[in-house]
Amino acid sequence: MDPKKWIDVNAESFQYSLDHFVIPDHYETALSSVLIPHGVIMDRVEKLAKLIVQESTGPLVVCCVLKGGHQFFADLVNYIKKNVTRGGKTVPLSLEFIKVKSYSGETSGEVKLSLTDEECKEFSGKNILIVEDIIDTGKTMVQLLAKLKQYSPESVKVASLLIKKTPLSNGYIPDYVGFAIPNAFVVGYALDYNEYFRDLDHICVISEHGKEKYAVSKN
Ligand code: HPA
Ligand code: MG
């Protein structure tokens, strides 16, 4: 992995104690550590916004992958807009939202998009920026890219806030990455565990107790 392209969050040096941050009471016992504090996330997102504007060649269709990507998407778009008020280069944005369902059990490796075929045809000739929360195995993103390219966009780039250092990776690396993280299950900043923890600002490592407390069967 290219160390210059992202911040390498290391399991040993980047585990902050929960005691040093404000954590909602309902999640206090469900987490084991803070991995990336909210302020650091915001600073990094601002930098990614700057890089994206610098490297843009025309109007962008910024495409949010729901639900996990929504916070990163919202903050990224805000920083791209701020670049304008600071007298920097400007780029016209249009916004799109998709849900992606992957059928991991199937050998076809197909993904299903929430957009209709008609809506996808709007991508033709456009510069698309996909905004995702995390690349884990890379499987979903590779399939999503293959699907989008069927609609002949001018270009497709991917911004992912996180990339997980997992042996299950298929080697896919996005164009823009915020942080490379250890092979642990993380939550917060819109990343969920069974739909919980999206309402947590910091990116944290879930505890074993948290996995039990918020398990599907116990809701
Ligand atoms: N956290 C939340 N969602 C995810 C993760 C993770 O670590 N990996 C893939 N999806
Ligand atoms: Mg996601």
Helix, strand or coil for residue 13?
Answer: coil
Angle subtended at Cα 1 by Cα 77 and Cα 182, rounded to the nearest 5 degrees: 75
Q: What is the DSSP string of 48-97?
A: HHHHHHHH--S-EEEEEEETTTHHHHHHHHHHHHHHHHTT-----EEEEE
Name which residue sits closest to atom 1 of ligand 1, judged by CA: 186
Which atom of ligand 1 approaches the CA of 191 most closely? 2
User: What's 26's DSSP letter?
Assistant: G
In this prediction, residues 92-108 reach a mean pLDDT of 80
Give percent of the chain with pLDDT exceeding 90: 79
Q: Assign residue 190 a region: left if phi > 0, alpha if psi is -120 to 50, beta otherwise?
A: left
pLDDT at 218: 47
Say yes or no: ipTM exceeds 0.90: yes
Q: What's the mean pLDDT in 128-143?
A: 96
* Alpha helices by DSSP H, 66-198: 70-85, 117-121, 139-149
- The HSE-up count of residue 121 (CA atoms within 13 Å, CB side) is 3
Active site residue 19: no
CB-proximal residues (5 Å) to ion ligand 2: 68, 133
Longest CA–CA separation in the chain, Å: 52
- Ligand 2 center to residue 152 CA distance, Å? 23
Instruction: Report CA(121)–ligand 1 centroid distance (Å).
Output: 30
| Mutation test residue for ligand 1: of 72, 164, 205, 207, the one with most atoms within 8 Å of CB | 164
Which 3 state secondary structure label does DSSP give 178?
strand
The residue nearest atom 5 of ligand 1, judged by CA position, is 185
Q: Is residue 186 in contact with ligand 1, taking CB distance under 6 Å?
A: yes
- Fill in the DSSP letter of residue 188: B
Look at residue 105 in the predicted model and tell me its pLDDT: 56
* pLDDT at position 102: 74
Lowest mean pLDDT among 12-16, 197-201, 215-219: 215-219
Q: Which ligand is nearest to the CA of 206?
A: 1
